Amino acid sequence: MKVLLLASHFEIGGITSYVLSLAKGLIANGIEVGVASAPGRGIKQLGDIPFFDIGPRTKCEIGPRSVRSALKVSRIVREHGFDILHAQTRVASFISFWVSKSTGTPFISTAHGHYNSHLGRRLFPCWGKLVIAISQHVRQHLLYDFNLNEKYLRLIYNGTDLDRFPDKISAVEKKKIRINFGLDPDLPTLGIVARLSPVKGHEYFFKALARIKDNYDFQVVIVGEGPEKNSLQDLVSYLKLDDNVKFFGSMENTIPVLKAMDIFVLPSLQEGLSLSILEAQACGLPVVATNVGGISEIVENERTGILTQPRDDESLGEAIKRFLDDPDAARRMGWEGRVLVNKQFSLEEMVKKVISVYNEVLTG
């Protein structure tokens, strides 16, 4: 079997991480894999996996760039004999639809989050023969907001390769890592790994920190890039948090910075299923997050973390205070999170189920 994974970009982030993990898992199971996308910083992580540049990047599903990309992908499919197309974004699904029409190659798509039901998506749904939903919440969104027939939907949670993450980090090692990042080795460290966009809720994180900064000593690591960077830096200055908060940009490998943290925070306003939370849990970190989207499917409130309501910086601050006041409880919940990832969100299980979907499409 030869599979072409399609995305509309390959910058550092959740979809790129998903494609990288899936590609390597498929290859480990004897499946030939290629990746097609507009180029981005994630390409070098592909190693020997064939990459096909179908750029330039576009967010427009129906437009000249998408059409040109579809023509490129059609040539790639014919020349390399791919058996199935697996789209990861809405633009990639549109491209795959037309490639499938022209080459007869079946395609499926993975829904990684929520989509606006605008006219183009109603006229050209382009979901493929089967659709993978990464969480129960996303599945319900597709059922009720897009009227997809449930017989075409397959729920497959994102998976994490637990072998990449340490099960324990000594205090000495944590201090060394913090020093390497220019952090205070002895201060409690909070962090978030997410693109700097309004939907990730950084604003409420900073407002929560401002509520508690006079009574607690802490430092905060912000990992990610995005359009809100300047405004968020201005907000940090306005809230007098400059001495507490450090922006690090995006990172290809977030494991070292996760190892520097004590508490992981994700105050999203909307979320399909957060890979960054799964990776934080794999590192044994307790999680403070908002109860939106699929987050409650991976964070068990009061067992692996604390869930708060979105846009509520007061309750977010109270949850952070609880972990700062009780490091033992924080460590206990962090360990329970790692156990949960191992049981329910392994990469091996995800890959096995995706292969099952491929076989269903090819034999159906």
Amino acid identity, position 357: V
User: Cα separation of 302 and 310, whole Å?
Assistant: 17
Residue pair 96/87 in contact (Cβ under 8 Å)? The answer is: yes
Say whether pLDDT at 279 is over 80. yes
Separation in Å, CA 145 to CA 43, 97, 122, 148, 223: 34, 21, 11, 8, 32
Give pLDDT tens digits for 187-202.
999 999 999 999 999 9
The reported pLDDT for the residue numbered 59 is 63
pLDDT class for 13, splitting at 50, 70, 90? confident
- Do 180 and 266 have their domain in common? yes
- Three-point CA angle 252, 347, 84, nearest 5°: 90
Give mean pLDDT, residues 75-87.
97
The reported pLDDT for the residue numbered 79 is 96
The reported pLDDT for the residue numbered 264 is 98
- Do 248 and 202 have their domain in common? yes
The reported pLDDT for the residue numbered 123 is 60
Through-space distance between the first and last CA atoms of the chain, rounded to whole angstroms: 15
The reported pLDDT for the residue numbered 58 is 60
Residue pair 220/188 in contact (Cβ under 8 Å)? The answer is: no
The reported pLDDT for the residue numbered 231 is 97
Least confident range from 31-35, 42-46, 82-86, 233-237: namely 42-46
User: Cα separation of 315 and 345, whole Å?
Assistant: 28
Say whether pLDDT at 320 is over 80. yes
pLDDT class for 124, splitting at 50, 70, 90? low
Give mean pLDDT, residues 150-159.
95
Give the structural domain span for 63. 2-159+346-363
Read off the tokens for 85: 């197309």
- Do 112 and 216 have their domain in common? no
Say whether pLDDT at 37 is over 90. yes
The reported pLDDT for the residue numbered 340 is 94
The reported pLDDT for the residue numbered 114 is 83
- Do 331 and 353 have their domain in common? no
Say whether pLDDT at 334 is over 70. yes
- Do 115 and 258 have their domain in common? no
Number of domains in the chain: 2
pLDDT class for 130, splitting at 50, 70, 90? very high
Give phi and psi for 217, each to the nearest 5: -100, 130
- Do 154 and 170 have their domain in common? no
Residue pair 159/348 in contact (Cβ under 8 Å)? The answer is: yes
Say whether pLDDT at 27 is over 80. yes
- Do 242 and 268 have their domain in common? yes
- Do 151 and 196 have their domain in common? no
Closest CA to 144 of 114, 173, 179: 114
The reported pLDDT for the residue numbered 115 is 80
Closest CA to 303 of 267, 350, 348, 335: 335
The reported pLDDT for the residue numbered 268 is 97
CATH number at residue 352: 3.40.50.2000
- Do 246 and 111 have their domain in common? no
Mean pLDDT score of the chain: 93
Percent of the chain beyond pLDDT 70? 95
User: In angstroms, how far apart are the furthest CA atoms of the chain?
Assistant: 64
Residue pair 205/316 in contact (Cβ under 8 Å)? The answer is: yes
Say whether pLDDT at 119 is over 60. no
Residue pair 97/126 in contact (Cβ under 8 Å)? The answer is: yes
- Do 76 and 220 have their domain in common? no
The reported pLDDT for the residue numbered 167 is 77
- Do 359 and 340 have their domain in common? no
Compute the Cα dihedral for 125, 62, 269, 279 and give only its sign. positive
- Do 356 and 333 have their domain in common? no
Give mean pLDDT, residues 237-255.
95
Percent of the chain beyond pLDDT 90? 80
Backbone φ/ψ region at 302: left (φ over 0), alpha (ψ -120 to 50), beta? left
User: Cα separation of 135 and 155, whole Å?
Assistant: 6
